[in-house]
Amino acid sequence: MTERRAILSGSTFEEQIGYARAVVDGDWVHVSGTTGFDYATMTISDVVDQAEQCLRNIEAALAEAKCTFADVVRVRYLLPDRADFEPCWPILRRYFGEVRPAATMLMCGLADPHVFAIPMRMAGCRLPHGGSV
């Protein structure tokens, strides 16, 4: 049986809803939908800043799982307004331009579309060299 480990960000929603920021399961890391909320300042900003902060939040979870964006094989971008996607491309290219994971942008209703403009979800981040938790 593979070892499974939850990675928590400290968000109160993790406790209230019952989920983890990421889960390491064997050689794979699955990252939950993550917003651009800045936990250090307890603020959220415009969509481009949210994209950047969202990736920093994900990067922290990946680091705790002992992997990086280079290990990401799938990403999903969730947006309430498709017009917000293109302004984020330079940020996304900076993080994924060399990696080129499979990617999908989904336009969907969000809990608060005025606050959370671009949540992201990483699926199937492989641990380097078949590492383990």
User: Quick check: 130 pLDDT over 90?
Assistant: no
3-state DSSP helix/strand/coil percent for the chain, to nearest 5?
Answer: 35, 30, 40
For the chain, the distance separating the N- and C-terminal CA atoms, rounded to the nearest angstrom, is 13
Structure tokens at 12: 């109160």
Q: Average pLDDT for residues 63-92, to the nearest whole number?
A: 92
Can you count the helices (H) and strands (E) in the chain? 3, 6
Q: What is the DSSP string of 35-84?
A: ---BTTTTB---HHHHHHHHHHHHHHHHHHTT--GGGB-EEEEEES-GGG
Q: What is the mean pLDDT of residues 85-100?
A: 95
pTM (2 d.p.) = 0.85
Nearest to 47 by CA among 81, 75, 76: 81
Phi first, then psi, for residue 25 (nearest 5°) are -135, 100
Indicate if the pLDDT at residue 133 is higher than 50.
Answer: no
Q: If you average pLDDT over residues 26-41, what whole number do you get?
A: 87
